[in-house]
Amino acid sequence: MSMPGADHERFRAEHPLLARAIDAILASVRETAELLRQGDSSGQVGSVNSFGDKQLKIDVKADEIIFSNLRSCGAVVTASSEERPDELDLGGQGFSVAFDPLDGSSIVDANFAVGAIFGIWRGAGLLHKTGAEQAAAAYAVYGPRTSVVLARPGRDGKLKVEELMLTEQGWLVCREDVRLGEKKVFAPANLRAAADNKAYADFVSACISEKYTLRYTGGFVPDVHHILTKGGGLFLNPTSSGAPAKLRLLYECAPIAFIVEAAGGASSNGAESVLKMKFDHLDRRTAITLGSREEVARSKHCLRA
């Protein structure tokens, strides 16, 4: 089940190992979508991952599916997941992969759309790298449809952002060139931080008085996908002393910011693009605002109380 079409054939010829890693991700997304449809995996397994998050059966199964496909594709040297953060040697050659196998598992039982997030770096090892060094990044949205948004090297060496849709005929390209506009939509995550982060509370009030459209589900991936699908907007996750950073830099923010910036948007940790932040440890978390460039510029001051 590989990437479709003539442009992908050229990409495969120019980047054979990267194409194999991406095919392994597409195969994993297809299997995970099937698992979610079966619906028998949302119960808790009673364990927690090394970050202390309760694990659902679906978290563990999705994690196993991805490691298995990355190992068998032969193009992955090491991989690390939010569920098993120690970098595992997968015996391949070419790339290292970091992933969140199922982001938003806390809303699976409410039957909300959830996602998976993948970052791909050249060479072995992820520690002390930055998001800017990614070779490619992808996220999957498991909603009424299953789709993958992928940022990868394009024809002229620039990054291309495209959307693939899973159909009965396999993966089809449904958007050739995903670009961000400046739509007035906002997705305020970690809203409890507004209780002791006045700048955040004031920013949300300003969005309301300026008649922004609120679109927030509690799932990082579908909330960002809405921004990339509807022509722009802003996802923000500020923090405060009472509501510290929840999103992880390596497994969530860096791959998503790579895709958003490749689509003409911006990201910020309040001071600089999150793609400049080093993975000085694999569990590093960060406040983040990302989306349309102007919206990121006007919101980044409220990221830290």
Summarize as ranges the residues that interact with ligand P6P (CB under 6 A): 103-104, 106, 189-190, 218-220, 246
| 11 vs 186 by CB, closer to ligand P6P | 186
In the complex, least distance from residue 245 CB atom to ligand P6P, rounded to whole angstroms: 10
| 123 vs 218 by CB, closer to ligand P6P | 218
| 11 vs 251 by CB, closer to ligand P6P | 251
Q: What is d(CA 49, CA 41) in angstroms, rounded to the nearest whole number?
A: 17
In the complex, least distance from residue 248 CB atom to ligand P6P, rounded to whole angstroms: 8
**What DSSP letter does each residue of 238-251 carry, written as one string?**
-BBTTB---SBIII
| 186 vs 220 by CB, closer to ligand P6P | 220
Beta strands 146-153 and 185-188, pairing class: unpaired
| 152 vs 300 by CB, closer to ligand P6P | 300
Beta strands 234-237 and 288-291, pairing class: antiparallel
In the complex, least distance from residue 207 CB atom to ligand P6P, rounded to whole angstroms: 16
Q: What is d(CA 17, CA 4) in angstroms, rounded to the nearest whole number?
A: 16
In the complex, least distance from residue 27 CB atom to ligand P6P, rounded to whole angstroms: 23
Q: What is d(CA 138, CA 258) in angstroms, rounded to the nearest whole number?
A: 9
* Cβ-contact 101, 82 below 8 angstroms: yes
How far the first Cα of the chain sits from its last, in Å, is 47
> Identity (one letter) of the amino acid at 244?
P
- Cα–chain-centroid distance for residue 247? 10
Residue at shortest CB range from ligand P6P: 220
Q: What is d(CA 216, CA 123) in angstroms, rounded to the nearest whole number?
A: 36
In the complex, least distance from residue 240 CB atom to ligand P6P, rounded to whole angstroms: 12
| 57 vs 246 by CB, closer to ligand P6P | 246
Q: Rounded to 5 degrees, what are φ and ψ at 30?
A: -60, -45
- Cα–chain-centroid distance for residue 224? 8
Hey, is 217 helix, strand or coil?
coil
In the complex, least distance from residue 165 CB atom to ligand P6P, rounded to whole angstroms: 22
Q: Report the alpha-carbon angle 170-172-173, nearest 5.
A: 160
In the complex, least distance from residue 287 CB atom to ligand P6P, rounded to whole angstroms: 12
